[in-house]
Structure 1
Amino acid sequence: MIAIRPATGHDVAAIDALLRTSFARPGEANLVRDLCITGDMVLMFAARDEETDALVGTIAFSRMDVSVAGKPISAVALAPIAVAPAYRDQGVAEALVQAGIDRLEQEGVVLCFALGEPAFYARFGFDADFARNFDSPYAGDYLLALPLQGGLMPCGVREHAHHAPAFAKLSDT
């Protein structure tokens, strides 16, 4: 059985190790570290195998600067998400995303953005149309958004959707 809970200091080393083995480059592990250092990390979950207590997955949500119709909107970026190879295709990633969405709803976050495969994220309601027309260096078919708080997109001109500064370092790694 897999248990999903907010990450704690006890999880830091295991999360770093999982990110370094899940991605070809250290960029995602460095991203999580930098988001934590700068205070831009909003929420992290850890998925643990209850039998072995091994960390088998993680997901991170970080602060974004988003504006619609001249007003700041409470928004986060989902990234990264990682699942240990032996636990892939067993619903761990889906459970992590859903746990994050549920918590973000409770916390009053209005929009959640993701950079990724539209086919995976569509099952949760993420769509490129919700992210379209925001000024973002990641604009395009893989920048997706999910309106929370009842699923209504904030009305007005979509202005900017800027990820935390740590994301800019991803292209350097």
Structure 2
Amino acid sequence: MTTLRLRPEDPADAGAVRRVLAAAFARPDVTTPPEVGLVDELRGSDAWVPPLAMVAEYGGEVVGFALLTRVRVTSDAGVAPALALGPVAVAPHRQRIGLGTSVVQAALDAATELGERLVVVLGDPAYYRRFGFGRADELGLTSPWSGLGEPWQALTLPPTTSGEGPPPRGEVVFPPPWSKV
């Protein structure tokens, strides 16, 4: 019986994650998809949160990946931490069996356990709605991608302690590697 195992990325998984990203985002006009370089650069930055780089291992093979990295929300009230989801990838030979959903949910669950409050994503609203994402602008969040409308989304994670205030509002500032995607 083949089993699915969801777990944080181990440093030894970096090559397997690169292969999953390269296969999932392959395009005939690009040798190495930008998502591969994005993850490599984020991995070496202070935006990297090790327990939030989640892999899906199916039958002992890394076939899925979901990444949450640190972003900042700036406003007149100051700077607050948040997370960005992406990239999310599943090896083509394992797509359409729920692995993407599973690995994203595992990453979001891990973020909740760490006490994180806000996650943003740029992606297909029909896909991300299943996790509870909605329009980021309705939560008072802006970014370089705000003009794209519905694909610019956010999710408020449940508070881990009583008395936590509302999630931050303001401009979401992404770490430099994101500017290359």
TM-score (norm. length: structure 2): 0.84
- Say yes or no: does 1:88 pair with 2:124: no
- State whether residues 61 and 78 of structure 1, in contact with CA within 8 Å, keep that contact through their aligned partners in structure 2: yes
Secondary structure in 2 matching 1:14: helix
- Say yes or no: does 1:62 pair with 2:79: no
**Which of the numbers 142, 146, 166 marks the counterpart of 1:154?**
166
Q: How does 1:112-123 map to 2 (within 5 A)?
A: 112-123=119-130
Cα separation, 2, equivalents of 1:37 and 1:113: 21
- Which one-letter code corresponds to 2:84 in the other structure? A
- Say yes or no: does 1:35 pair with 2:42: yes
TM-score (norm. length: structure 1): 0.88
Q: How does 1:94-173 map to 2 (within 5 A)?
A: 94-129=101-136, 133-139=140-146, 140-150=149-159, 154=166, 158-170=169-181
Secondary structure in 2 matching 1:74: strand
Question: Equivalent pairs: percent with the same residue?
Answer: 31
Secondary structure in 2 matching 1:149: coil
Cα separation, 2, equivalents of 1:155 and 1:82: 27
Cα separation, 2, equivalents of 1:155 and 1:60: 20
Cα separation, 1, equivalents of 2:18 and 2:166: 35
- State whether residues 18 and 84 of structure 1, in contact with CA within 8 Å, keep that contact through their aligned partners in structure 2: yes
Cα separation, 2, equivalents of 1:95 and 1:148: 17
Aligned length, in residue pairs? 167
Cα separation, 1, equivalents of 2:87 and 2:15: 16
Distance 1:69 1:131, change over 3 A: farther
Cα separation, 1, equivalents of 2:69 and 2:138: 17
Cα separation, 1, equivalents of 2:105 and 2:17: 19
Secondary structure in 2 matching 1:38: coil
The match for 1:20 is 22
Distance 1:37 1:87, change over 3 A: same
- Which one-letter code corresponds to 1:7 in the other structure? E
